[in-house]
Amino acid sequence: MPEKIEVVEQEKWDHRAYTAPASHIIFHFAARGELPAVKIHWYEGGLLPEALPGMEKGLPTNGMIMKGSKETLFSDGMRVQSPQLWPRERMTPLIDVLRRKPLPRSKAGEPIGELFAAIRGEIPHAGSHFDYACPLTELVNVGVLAIRSGKTIEWDATAMKVKNAPEFDTLVKEPVRDGWSYGEDLWKA
């Protein structure tokens, strides 16, 4: 989980909508072992990073971009169906590997089909199983909290709290009605 989510830019909005129409935030992840710290920039609502040198068509307006020290990986659209490398010549030695499709593909094709294939026992588990989906959902929700508040927040994933804004506690974990609980005691067996 990120240690900090920094709000870089936001389009002005009236707070009646779920989030600002356009935002740029940065997720700050701490170093892990020998792995260095990582920053992930999230752009939405038409905000985009600068195009890469020599790129005539520009970056995709919807999709994923990963900028590394030697090349940039990008894909147009919500799902990474046809990833590309820039500079383009760095992709040439990989084209034959990609044609062989070295990674297993879903028998069902789309996520909902994959879910039902997993339920039927046709595949070991869906690609978006809970071990993957729960941390991803937490990451996105913490980003939304930063966007909605317009504030850079410091996240304590273990405690599930915003360290620099205790007023957000009720947004992260809403109070329950009298006589009810979240059931934490059920998991302490």
The residue extents of the domains of the chain are: 1-47+105-175, 52-103
Kindly tell me if the per-residue pLDDT of 149 is higher than 70. yes
What pLDDT, in 10s, does the model give residues 92-146? 888 887 777 656 666 556 778 888 888 888 888 777 778 888 899 999 999 999 9
Q: Residue 101 carries which DSSP code?
A: -
Q: What share of the chain is helix, strand, coil (3-state, %, to 5)?
A: 25, 20, 50
Q: At residue 75, what are phi and psi to the nearest 5 degrees?
A: -150, 140
C-alpha to C-alpha distance for 120 and 114, rounded to whole angstroms: 10
pTM over 0.85: no
pLDDT band at 8 (very low <50, low <70, confident <90, very high): very high
Q: pLDDT tens digits for 157-168?
A: 999 899 999 888
